[in-house]
Structure 1
Amino acid sequence: MAIFVTRVCVLIAGLSCLTFLEARPSSPYIQHEKRSHIPPGWSHLRKPDASTVIPLRFALKQSNIDKLDQMLQDVSHPESANYGQYWSPAQIRQTFAPSSTTVDTVRDWLLSSGVSAHNVRLTSSKTWIEAKISMEDAERLLQAEYQTYGHETGKEHIACTSYHLPAHISPHIDVITPSIHFDATLGRRDSFGSSHLPQMLRQPRLGTRPKMIGEAQSDVDDCATQITPACLKALYNFTYNPVSSGSNTFGIVVEYTPQAYTKADLNLFARNFSSNLIGKYPKLVSVDGGIVQSEALGFQYNIESNLDLEYAQALVGPKQEITLYQVGDMVISGSFNNFLDALDGSYCDYEGGDDPTYDSSYPDTDPDGYNGAPSCGITKPANVISTSYGYNEADLSPAYTARQCAEYAKLGLMGVTFVFSSGDSGVAGNGNLCLNPDGSQTVNGTIFNPGFPATCPYITSVGATQIKDGAGVTDPEISCEETIATGGGFSNRFEMPSYQQQAVNNYLAKYKPDYSADIWNSTGISRGYPDISANGASYVVAVNGTFARVSGTSASGPVVASMLAMINDARIASGKGPIGFINPVLYSSSFSSAFNDITTGGNLGCGTAGFTTAPGWDPATGLGTPNFPKLLEKWLALP
């Protein structure tokens, strides 16, 4: 094998030289990842300097990932002998650590390709490798062409359109950064503006002002026009008094700074709907400098947190402490991965660690930023965690979504229940964006645009329903598509999980829409969502000292999570464990009578009527809305 030596000197805290030995690859190169377009808001600026040194990060393949679904089913399926026998963090770490073969293969490839040994670093957890090399050598190593791109906010980023790896190396690597990925979190402008809000934020939609609200509001005669805690309790027969003496944990919600609740609004809501909650606030867990900020106030900053906490507290009552995970500082905020790092210390390094082109990196060097160490494994995850945020699947690379989805499965193995809202734009994505044939997203696109993490098969996705005009709380609800269109459909990334095959196949066999196959995933083998639903229309919320009506699956998600938290309370009080990953139980035949089937309405979007509801599971409302007493009875009967 012929070897050619190239020596590059660059200034990095003094003069250092990087040696790159060009060597013929031992196997042919194959494409590893590719993107089809530049995301909205970005434009090409220039070719980066060839001598610029970049830290290439190689995410190593994890062991036993191909068995992850089977392992999770083993502790989650109601007919399994190991139901509820959850794993410890140590078991998780040991089971999924990369093999020594993977570590050695990737490291040997880098060294044989000419990367100097002193520029190659293997993390202590042995989950990723970093190699500091010049831009020119990175392009040669990956058969890629890097460019510098600029965002409309002024931020710059280095990326490539595609990159390649030797055929014998590709199976050992999940993703490399920097490469094809673009930022999903962006820093703030000089004054607070929309660019400072996390891009994954799905704001609930504001409606008309509610009718006059009086103290101790408990009327359920007007629930078709405005939802209150009393309406929800009546709709789902949800009456429960916690009895587990504080041993149950409920994480509501993950909020991303600058999103924050205000104490005055929580108290205003309590005075009108649950006076025993006046002065009651959630337990704060700060992740990466997260604070309940009061610097920026207004609907866009307070509505999500207020909505989540006001209703969760009102539904579970003062005896149940609620944990608030506040993620990110005021400068760069945070992402789902920053939050997951806090729950699982091994995830900080898992498959390459957080991606700096998607996730916020701490310490934050901004004078006003959080300059502490990243929050890794700082808190034990709550039994139930509800999140009202989401991306479009197309916002993120397949490798990124697969990595994060696997982490939800790992946390499910530890007994954690994750609830995510399904989206508010029907079959379209956030911002009513639909896909184009080239993979780009525009408001005039025609291809259905599923959401994430709603499509991850290891979380419970919650859609929205509403009370029909003129109907009452004892009448059947309909799919929510007037104030918002409930999100639902079929993933373009994830396979259909075994637990929902029977239910989804029944829908596709009897009620499959006749849309052209080129505008939706009609293969019949992909994950369908949502799993279940709850009312998400015209919630009365206290915000900025007054009341407003808002709608969205960000309302229905916490409602379902509150019920699940109380089911955990009852199980713990009876000497049993938490319910953990619930989807295999939800789709089991024994639980079919625990839901109110929704058979009217749909979820329009992308210039179509979307999917229509149908008897049984459907991609608008899932299995239906919960009947709390029946769910409680059935879960108490499980081991």
Structure 2
Amino acid sequence: MRSPWRSLVAVSLALLSSAGSLLANYSVHEKRTHIPSGWALNRRHNLTSTIPLRFALKQKNIEDIGNYLYDVSHPKSPNYGKHWTATEIVRTFVPSNETVDIVRSWLIASGIGRERISLGRTKGWIQVNVTVEEAEQLMNTEYNVYTHMSGKEHVACEVYYLPQHVQPHVDFVTPSVHFDAKLTRRSGGGGGGGGSAPPARDIGQPGVGNTPKTTGTVSGIIGELEQCDKYITPICLRTLYDLFYDPVATDKNSYGIVEYTPQAYLDSDLQMFARNYSADLIGKKPYLVSIDGGYAQTIHKNFSHNGESDLDLQYGMSLVTGKQTLTLYQTGDLPEGASFNDFLDAIDGSYCTFEGGDDPTQDGIYPDNLPGGYTGPKACGTVKPASVISTSYGYNEADLSPFYAGRQCAEYAKLGLMGITILYSSGDDGVAGINGSCLNSSHIPSADGHIFNPSFPGTCPYVTSVGATMVKPNATVFDPETACMEVIYSGGGFSNYFAMPEYQKNVVDHYLTNYRPDYPSTIWNSTGTSRAYPDISANGANYVVAVDGEFHLIYGTSCSSPVVGAIFTMINDARLALGKGPIGFINPTIYSPEFACTFNDITEGSNPGCGTAGYNTADGWDPVTGLGTPNFSKLFALWLLLP
């Protein structure tokens, strides 16, 4: 389909060039380079059809959000720990009146009646229902209809222009060049660069996203320290990371783990695990917070539906002990499912309509009119976020557009400003994407791809990405661990979307100077200017987990993230007991020279993928295990000294 497409583009650009005076004060705002996989140009769109045109307004001060976050998160800053309120965040980033007035005035001057122009509740976007002909005149473009191999249709343009005085006030327009902004719900085909990727709201479906692996069931586990190279249990983790701490400020503290329906834990499994490995959990349950109809479903019972949640809760709850209530954020109903955005909507009401609101092809949309769907109102700022939040799910970065990923990444920065620690697992396929997928020359996940495929949200510079290690065969918990190289490989590498944050520049420069990978720059982001991940790691192999009435051995960075979350929750407990605040966004602190001694450096192993050996571990930070694994007592001591 490339030749007809190029011909159409040539004709379109020729017509635009002939417009002369019309384009004199216009500039290209966005342009697409290719049609995503699975889609084909069908026809010009009907000029009299109506489309909901949305202008995502430039957020005031958004370009400084990293600096604001750094200011309250760096241990040398005089404002360390002075976290913001939700009101302060809204006031700081809401689009200016000037931005709203300029975009609105341009629309009115272009013939759009005032009564047709709608401003979002948080002033994040302007919407106007227009005909295709009006949209084309507004933005000097042509709208076409594209057909997916599934038969679904999507409206988009190849390029669009905005007046030069309007451009600084608009982030992007939908629908336009993006293929994660389709018009109908459940249209299929994925988003962003990955035409065949499932929608973001399918993150809880079996086989979608980053899910734990198992080598089968085990029996007769004793749980002694001598067996930790074969079977990881809570005592192994406590010994590995020196996590011997009895919480004392549990009424002030909070730890949350996010699950996405239909993934669900079974209480019978939690009690089975408690009887064998965590007696103080017997009879206890997580505090369940239902988001958009989420509940611990029991219709589907198997490893694919229960393994993730059972793992997260059994170890998350064990390591913070039975004294600390763990909050389970169960997100999405059974028919619809949910995405990370749906969870973020629930904990931050300002996010619900931020930059145009959710994408109906990617995110769960509620009320849900499907049979058995949740018919209540969508959760929007109705849930209090915990001080530490761990999520063991993820996407390929390329499966989402840069705009979708960037919009979400900014929200993680806002949560960090409010003092919330956000953890995500880094992925289980080394330098490859989920299920070993790599990118082709168009940066689309493909069976014949050979370009490294980073994960998301781990590549967002405002979250803490957690990789995986393991106890070496025949070694003890007192010996150095290695990068996980059994069943899974620790996800790690360099983002294709996000720039390198200042906090990690020195350690990544050290790695690239002394241990630079010998791969052509065509298969990895070798610029040395992009966000590198993971940040830290924890054990991710041989976990003993009760699933559906049997003990399984489980592997994955899905294991690592809730463990790290428990460690930081216990550090918060100690700080809160002294009248101090939570640690919040931890990356500037853990990358600081003062904290270099608080991690166990991992210097063995690699993370293969995409037909290569991947990256190697090294002295200091590396793109396999990050800074290394945490030593609780050392982190505890230094964090108690901070304001």
* Fold match (TM-score > 0.5): yes
* 2:326 pairs with 1:322: yes
Q: Distance in 1 between matches of 2:248 and 2:428?
A: 35
Q: TM-score, normalised by structure 1?
A: 0.91
Give the aligned partner of residue 19 of structure 1.
Answer: none
CA pair 163-571 structure 1, distance change in 2 beyond 3 A: same
Aligned counterpart for 2:607 among listed residues 603, 606, 618:
603
- After superposition, the C-alpha distances for 1:162-192 in whole angstroms (9 at most, x for unaligned) are 4443333232222322331337998599xxx
Q: TM-score, normalised by structure 2?
A: 0.90
Give the aligned partner of residue 497 of structure 1.
Answer: 501
Structure 2 SS opposite 1:171: helix
* 2:74 pairs with 1:74: no
On the 8 A contact 1:33/1:164 being kept in 2, the answer is no
Q: Distance in 2 between matches of 1:419 and 1:532?
A: 10
Q: How does 1:620-631 map to 2 (within 5 A)?
A: 620-631=624-635
Q: How does 1:372-411 map to 2 (within 5 A)?
A: 372-411=376-415
Q: CA deviation at 1:350?
A: 1.6
Q: What runs of 5+ residues in structure 2 fail to find an aligned partner?
A: 1-20, 189-197
Give the aligned partner of residue 519 of structure 1.
Answer: 523
Q: Distance in 1 between matches of 2:577 and 2:100?
A: 46
Give the aligned partner of residue 363 of structure 1.
Answer: 367
Q: Distance in 2 between matches of 1:33 and 1:341?
A: 29
Specify the code of the residue in structure 2 equivalent to 1:236: Y
Q: CA deviation at 1:400?
A: 1.6
* 2:203 pairs with 1:202: no
Q: Distance in 2 between matches of 1:328 and 1:92?
A: 27
Give the aligned partner of residue 226 of structure 2.
Answer: 221
On the 8 A contact 1:181/1:357 being kept in 2, the answer is no
On the 8 A contact 1:32/1:163 being kept in 2, the answer is yes
Q: CA deviation at 1:365?
A: 2.3
- Per mean C-alpha deviation after superposition, the further-off stretch among 563-572 and 363-372 is 363-372
Q: Distance in 2 between matches of 1:379 and 1:628?
A: 30
Q: CA deviation at 1:161?
A: 4.4
Q: How does 1:558-577 map to 2 (within 5 A)?
A: 558-577=562-581
Q: Over the residues paired in the alignment, what is the CA RMSD in angstroms?
A: 2.2
CA pair 459-147 structure 1, distance change in 2 beyond 3 A: same
Specify the code of the residue in structure 2 equivalent to 1:201: G
* 2:591 pairs with 1:594: no
Q: What runs of 5+ residues in structure 1 fail to find an aligned partner?
A: 1-22
Specify the code of the residue in structure 2 equivalent to 1:502: N
Q: How does 1:426-465 map to 2 (within 5 A)?
A: 426-465=430-469
Structure 2 SS opposite 1:325: strand
CA pair 343-39 structure 1, distance change in 2 beyond 3 A: farther
- After superposition, the C-alpha distances for 1:406-447 in whole angstroms (9 at most, x for unaligned) are 111111111000001011110111121111111211133111
Q: Distance in 2 between matches of 1:186 and 1:151?
A: 16
* 2:163 pairs with 1:166: yes
Q: Distance in 2 between matches of 1:558 and 1:35?
A: 40
- After superposition, the C-alpha distances for 1:228-274 in whole angstroms (9 at most, x for unaligned) are 112111111111111004210111x1111111111111111111111
Give the aligned partner of residue 274 of structure 1.
Answer: 278
On the 8 A contact 1:76/1:581 being kept in 2, the answer is yes
- For this pair of structures, how many residues does the alignment match? 607
Specify the code of the residue in structure 1 equivalent to 2:504: Q
On the 8 A contact 1:56/1:130 being kept in 2, the answer is yes
Specify the code of the residue in structure 2 equivalent to 1:120: I
* 2:551 pairs with 1:547: yes
On the 8 A contact 1:210/1:226 being kept in 2, the answer is no
Structure 2 SS opposite 1:613: coil
On the 8 A contact 1:58/1:129 being kept in 2, the answer is yes
- After superposition, the C-alpha distances for 1:484-522 in whole angstroms (9 at most, x for unaligned) are 010000111111111111111111110011111111111
* 2:104 pairs with 1:99: no
Give the aligned partner of residue 88 of structure 1.
Answer: 85
Give the aligned partner of residue 125 of structure 2.
Answer: 128
Q: Distance in 2 between matches of 1:565 and 1:188?
A: 40
CA pair 155-235 structure 1, distance change in 2 beyond 3 A: farther
Give the aligned partner of residue 490 of structure 2.
Answer: 486
- After superposition, the C-alpha distances for 1:451-505 in whole angstroms (9 at most, x for unaligned) are 1110111111000001111111111111112210100001111111111111111
Q: Distance in 2 between matches of 1:349 and 1:245?
A: 34
- After superposition, the C-alpha distances for 1:250-306 in whole angstroms (9 at most, x for unaligned) are 11x111111111111111111111122122111111111212112222211111111
Q: CA deviation at 1:362?
A: 1.6
Give the aligned partner of residue 52 of structure 2.
Answer: 55
Structure 2 SS opposite 1:209: strand
On the 8 A contact 2:402/2:497 being kept in 1, the answer is yes
Q: CA deviation at 1:44?
A: 6.2
Give the aligned partner of residue 18 of structure 1.
Answer: none
CA pair 432-163 structure 1, distance change in 2 beyond 3 A: farther
Specify the code of the residue in structure 1 equivalent to 2:209: L
CA pair 350-159 structure 1, distance change in 2 beyond 3 A: same
